[in-house]
Amino acid sequence: MRNAPTILHLDMDAFFASAEQASKPSLRGKAVVVGGLGVRGVVATASYEARVFGVHSAMPMAQARRLAPNAAYLVPRFGLYREISEQVMGLLRTLSPLVEPLSLDEAFVDLEAGGTAWDEASARRAGAKLRADIRAVTGLTGSVGLAASKMLAKIASEQAKPDGLVVIEPGTERALLGPMPVRTLPGVGPATGDHLRRGGITTVDEIAEAGEDELVRLLGKAHGHALYAMALARDERPVVAERETKSVSVEDTYDVDIHDRVRVGLEVQRLADRCVERLRRAGLSGRTIVLKVRRYDFSTLTRSETLRGPTDDPAVVREAAGRLLDAVDTTGGVRLLGVGVSGLADYTQEDLFAQARAREAVEETAAQELPAVETGEEPAAEQVTAAERRWPAGHDVRHAEYGHGWVQGSGLGRVTVRFETPDSQPGRVRTFRTDDSALEPADPLPLVPRRPEEAPGVSAGAPGRT
């Protein structure tokens, strides 16, 4: 363990919901819930105003609507969130070369490795400057925890929420952890927590008092040893700049169970293509194809097939996923499907036969489409009428007359739009037909006007040692 609180943990405050509130003046200070809006959707993030009603992440959306019926319910805009995340991670990398992202809105930073902090005072200055820079660059707030280990820095950032900074001074860890519930420690979920409670252990102090041998008896060797060390505030894990990607996967949950076997097969092929797109964007390939099927009764089946070599060929992945699906009984209906690739590598050893089949399929499709091009007819895939466009709640639109706005809701052939921007006053609401040619989807606007000469922290050097 270090003798100075030079490990920083940043956690953006209610990230998705806060980004939506910053983007939409009419929602500031109001309950906002972001997630899947279908019957089986779940909450991704709830604003602090929504949390007052008991809404929290991972909660079924139907339950959230019962608890907070008057909240604004929005579909996530991941493109915007990724863009903000890149800005935040850029600020973190000015502090140190050792930045370990955990998600879009959370990361560890080793301040000592960057020469940014060496004692409590310099760590506080770095944390305070980071919070100010995040607000200036993104318009959002983040909570910062500083400690001598990753575990304690994360606990500190939880205590700092929302929009605060907490430092755990070396030497005070045991006294701080002692009265906390066992669920505070990493790796203690509901099942482990219940198991410990049945053994009469409910606080971190009681874990330490139980002793290592008792924990091993209750939880097994690996988990017992690790939990005992954490209860004594021992955590030697380093901040790792690059976290190895172990798998790439995509999955969809359906509002209504799919019973048609043909449609199930088409969905699997579509998911396989999306998975390969992600694989290629990451510059990776993989050897093991994984199919996940959750059936009508919530039973979940996972099947996998390992190929002779790594691939990023969509035809190969589709074919393997199809073979795996053939071995799964979908009678009764399917509520979730997923396709993943693991055993990742940064090179490929393609199946030449599959490549040949894929090329033949492309050539055949091109030959079939050629007459349509010659006669000036549009391919069937492009014959999408404006009436078929989807208008997800919360997503950006632009109207030829009224300008930029966002979708408040849609249905029965109508779409309701509120016209406002991040730097405007709350805007007016108007309703249009869903096929209105003057209304088009739009890209999100930046939360803070982009002026390169005013980017605090991005080009500034790290605080100097005095």
Give me the active site residues, please: 106
Q: In whole angstroms, what is the distance from residue 55 CA to residue 278 CA? A: 31
Closest CA to 420 of 411, 410, 408, 409: 408
Closest CA to 409 of 428, 389, 387, 394: 394
Strands (E), 111-246: 142-147, 165-167
Q: Is the peptide bond before 162 cis (omega within 30 degrees of 0)?
A: yes
The amino acid at residue 149 is: S
Q: In whole angstroms, what is the distance from residue 73 CA to residue 409 CA? A: 9
- At a CB cut-off of 8 Å and minimum separation 6, what does 381 contact? none
CA dist 15 → 11, 45, 52, 81, 141 (Å): 9, 7, 17, 8, 9
CA dist 73 → 54, 308, 443 (Å): 15, 46, 20
Tokens 């952890």 belong to 177
Tokens 């930045």 belong to 99
Residue 168 and residue 145 in contact, taking contact as beta carbons nearer than 8 Å: yes
C-beta contacts of 295-301 below 8 A and 24+ residues apart? 295/330, 295/332, 295/333, 295/334, 295/335, 296/257, 296/332, 296/333, 296/334, 296/335, 297/332, 298/335, 300/336, 301/328
